[in-house]
Amino acid sequence: MNFASDNTAGVAPEIMAALSRVNEGFTLGYGNDAWTKRAEQRIAEVFNRDAAMLLVTTGTACNALAIAHFTPPWGAVLCHHDAHIMTDECGAPEFFGHGIKLVGLRGDGGKISPAILKEALEKPQWGAPHHVAPSVLSLSQATEAGTIYRPDEIRALADIAHAHNLAVHMDGARLGNALARMNAAPDEATWKAGVDVLSFGATKGGAMAAEAIVFFDRERAAGMDRRRKRGGHLLSKHRFVAAQMDAYLTDDLWLRLARHANAMADRLSDRLSSAGFAPVWPVEANEVFTLIPRSACDRLKAQGAAFYERMPDNLPKTAIVKPDSVLVRLVTSFATTAEEVDQFAALASA
């Protein structure tokens, strides 16, 4: 019963097999190999676009490198107040961006609304040399609340951002989950909706350590090869990260894995709702947030269930918080089983 994160799962068998397959013979390092070319081609096919792609091994690196590439050192990145880049990357965007500033916007269910974005950008202070320059809007897909942006929502936000000369970054650590849920085409929910650069995550989805920085406009990737290298993120035996991405995208594996994770989240949500613990936010990806009694929380942990508690400081007004309520985050993955889900729900409501 591990619901602590989707990164507590291992590696999908298809990806593990690809790693073994690619391990034969010699090949030039640093991405000058056939597997890397193939991975880039897969990205192009999936996103229906001749995009530039650079692979790295962590989501934090992927986000920080992408953001830094579109933000001058005196720039600001607008993102949700609870975004991963804001709270969980130990200042990586600030480091890679050479001292940029992240500006957290409030918003229900982990999402930024067009109104809030507009208000933030139309504050009179921007413009003078005393103030940082808003340069990037970063959207998390799925969000930290397990919700997702629909293509038209992305479009509305991107239009505002572009009108103010900001680039649009998407942190797609769970893009597969979001797309599987919406049944949207990858292009419709990214560049066609205004996303300029994407952190495309495979690790949480089932890879070992593989994330792609995807530039939908090739020219804007200029210099990124050196930025990645000096960040220590250019793998020497590069075929092994390329093979992961290739396998992940082959035969829709990524979407199949995401659909399973989502289905497990739905099942968990259903079971918990039946027990009176309805999710506080819509379950739109592979995360369930709900309020359970402290006693249930303790019981679950005693039985070996792994999950994290969260600060209940931004709950929707409809949520009923009792004195002993604990807000818990439950994440499912490609490896989650229905048995685990049912066992967890049973223990929660015991």
278 binds a second copy (CB under 8 A): no
Residue 62 CB-half CA count within 13 A: 28
Rounded to a whole number of angstroms, the minimum distance from the CB of residue 196 to a second copy is 19
Among 129, 251, 302, 339, binds a second copy (CB under 8 A): 129
Min dist CB 137 to a second copy, Å, is 18
- Please, which of residues 74-103 interact with a second copy by CB under 8 A? 74, 87-92, 94-102
Please report, as residue ranges, which positions from 298 to 337 form the binding site for a second copy (by CB under 8 A): 306, 311, 335
Scanning 105-113, 126-134, 254-262, 285-293 for contacts with a second copy by CB under 8 A, the matching segment is 126-134
Cβ distance to a second copy smaller for residue 222 or 346: 222
Identity of residue 138: S
Q: Which range, of 141-149, 220-228, 261-269, 283-291, touches a second copy by CB under 8 A? A: 220-228
Q: How far is CA 71 from CA 65, 74, 75, 126, in A?
A: 10, 8, 5, 15
Near a second copy in 10-69, by CB under 8 A = 10-11, 16, 19-20, 22-30, 56-62, 64-65
Q: Which stretch binds a second copy (CB under 8 A): 127-135, 252-260, 264-272, 276-284?
A: 127-135
Q: Of 16 and 121, which has the nearer Cβ to a second copy?
A: 16
Query: Does the protein bind a second copy through residue 117 (CB under 8 A)?
Result: no
Question: Judged by CB under 8 A, which of 44, 182, 209, 275 binds a second copy?
Answer: 209
Asked if 226 touches a second copy (CB under 8 A), the answer is yes
- Beta carbon nearer to a second copy, 89 or 196: 89
Nearer to a second copy, 21 or 322 (CB): 21
Whole-number minimum distance, CB 185 to a second copy, in Å? 28
Q: Considering only 128-136, 145-153, 290-298, 314-322, which stretch makes contact with a second copy by CB under 8 A?
A: 128-136
Map the footprint of a second copy across residues 229-268, applying CB under 8 A. 229-237, 240-241
CB of 293 to a second copy, least distance (A): 19
